[in-house]
Structure formats: C-alpha cells, structure tokens
Amino acid sequence: MIRSVSIRALRQATPLLRVVPAAAAVSAFRGIHATPAAHSHYNDPASSATPAPPPKTLMDINKLYRNNTPITVLTAHDYISSKIANAAGVDIILVGDSLSMVALGYTNTNEIELDDMIHHARAVRRGSPQAFIVADLPFGSYEVSTEQALAAAFRMVKRAGVDAIKFEGGKENAGLVRHMSQRGIPVMGHIGLTPQRASSLGGFKVQGKTAATAELILEDALALQEAGCFSMVLEAVPAPVADLVTKQLRVPTIGIGAGPHTSGQVLVQLDMLGGFDGFTPKFLKKYSNYLDINTKACAAYVDEVRAGTFPEIGTHTYAIKDAELNKFKQLVAEKFPADSTKA
C-alpha cells in the first residue's frame, strides 16, 4: 500500500512538518517492502468485513500536537505486543532497543544488533499494518559516519516498513538528522538520559539537575528541532526542566521520567505490564502483574496435565464416528494381533 502525500500539502497543513522536508516520501517504502503476509491458518478475531482505517501519518501526530492532545507512545517488540498496543489506541508504536533487555535477556541495550532490531520491527509491523511505527537504531549502527547512519536508516525503513527512526544524542547528531530528513526519513530524537551512553554518563542518572546541564538539554533540543526532528524523547529529566524545554519547541516532546508537561508519554510495554523482573525505575507505573498472572496460568496447566483433568474429552478433543472408529480398531487388531503368550 503506497501512501502518497505531497510535501507541499504537509507544509501547508502544519508548521511542525516544515522541519521534515521530505517526510512523506518514506510512505512509499511501506508499499514495497511491508505488505502484511498471511501469518496463521487460525481465524483472526480482529478480522472482519469492516474496511481497515487509513494508515496513521505524521499529519495525524501533528494534529494531536496542535490540539494539545497528549501523544501516547508505547513500545512493542513482537507481533502480539504490537496488536495489543494498536488495539489499546496508542498513537505511536516504538520498537525500542529496550527489547534487548526485556525480550532478549541481554544486560543492557548496547548488545542488540541492527539485524535483530529489523527482525523485531518487521513482526511489529505485521501486527499493526496501519499504525505509525518508529524504530530505534541500535548502538554502533549510526555513530561511525553519515554513510553508515543513512545505510542503517534506509535498511530499517525498507526492510521493516517503519514510518520513522529514532536514535540517541543531541546537537552532535544534528548533521545526521538533517541528512536523513532531507532524504525522506523522519527522525525522532532522544535526549536527556541516553541509555546507550549510560557508561559515559556515570550510569542511569537523572540529567539536567543543574542550570548548566539543563541548558545543555535545551541546546540539544533546539539543535535537533532545527535539523529536522519531528519530535524527541526527553528521558529522566526533572519535570520543571522538561516543561520549560517543551515550551521553547515547536515539535512535540515525548517524556519518560520527565513529568506530565511534555507533549506526550512513552513507556516500555513489558515494564508497564509488570512483565520484566529487572530494575524498576522511579518513573514507572505498573498497570498489571504480567509475570505473576502468567506464571500462575502456566502452573495451573502443569497441574491439570499431571492430574489428568486436561484435556477434557468432548471439550478439548475431536470426535470420530463410531463406524469409522470400529473400522480402525479392526485394522489395528489385524495388524497387531494379541500375543497369546501374554494372555
């Protein structure tokens, strides 16, 4: 499905997208590389004769921003988590490199490779064909050179069919943002605490706690905006600082640990569902107890199998006509006659 929206129309519709000169061009990639394939022979309960809604675009995100409607962002790492996020009405689905830890069991986000991210992003796209999806470029896939960064971004967009990419860093990455946005790849920035660089920051620490460091965050935000970012994540920044930074920008800020006054919020889905038993940051609110609920369900299955109560004849089994069963019994008896010595 090729979505074509003229750049002129985008620019006339909103001042936000003026900083993304060729953002709409990325839509064509989805039609070439990301047509959802049949994935199961089972009936999909979400399938119906109702026409699918049109794909979400940057214009939809900008409309939320112009109307001062908080933008909701949630991560997804596979087909099912993507369907859950989409069904919940999330505005942007983020294929974050956090999946390195919550889905793959690595100790940090730096261990995941670009190919891994593409693999997961493709599954997320299959789960939500119409959603606006952003994918992270992982550590080491964009820092070496502009050519490396562009190659990684184009590969992610073409192979996974995502709508935009995200990578960490401030004004030092303004050139990369400019190159990508000029070539039709929308970019979401990520400033404040940047987990890929946690070691150089002294660990996972709040950023912008002094006037001087808060000013650096503002400088990063302004530089990324002018370079072409359509939005940016503010992570682990004092709420008043995030509020002031947000008010100086004309693109949306997406907060995570940055208070309620950003343009939107993002959380890691498995974190907010209670599905990750690692470190729990202060900003996280758990809306469910995924690990406990699902562990109990699996334990109940184990108990029922051992007790012989699952599967239950009739409820969980398939029938065969008596005549056919008798024929089969006769066939077995003829092929495997009873050994009289065992009688």
Residues with a catalytic annotation lie at 235
Residue 1, C-beta contacts closer than 8 angstroms, at least 6 positions apart: 30, 31, 35, 55
| Residues, the chain | 343
Of 15, 73, 54, 25, which Cα lies nearest the Cα of 251?
Answer: 15
Structure tokens at 228: 């072409």
Angular region, 105: left φ>0, alpha ψ -120 to 50, beta rest: left
Of 21, 67, 75, 20, which Cα lies nearest the Cα of 188?
Answer: 20
> Which phi and psi angles does 68 have, rounded to 5°?
60, 35
What residues does 184 pair with on adjacent strands? none
- Does residue 103 contact residue 77 with C-beta atoms inside 8 Å? yes
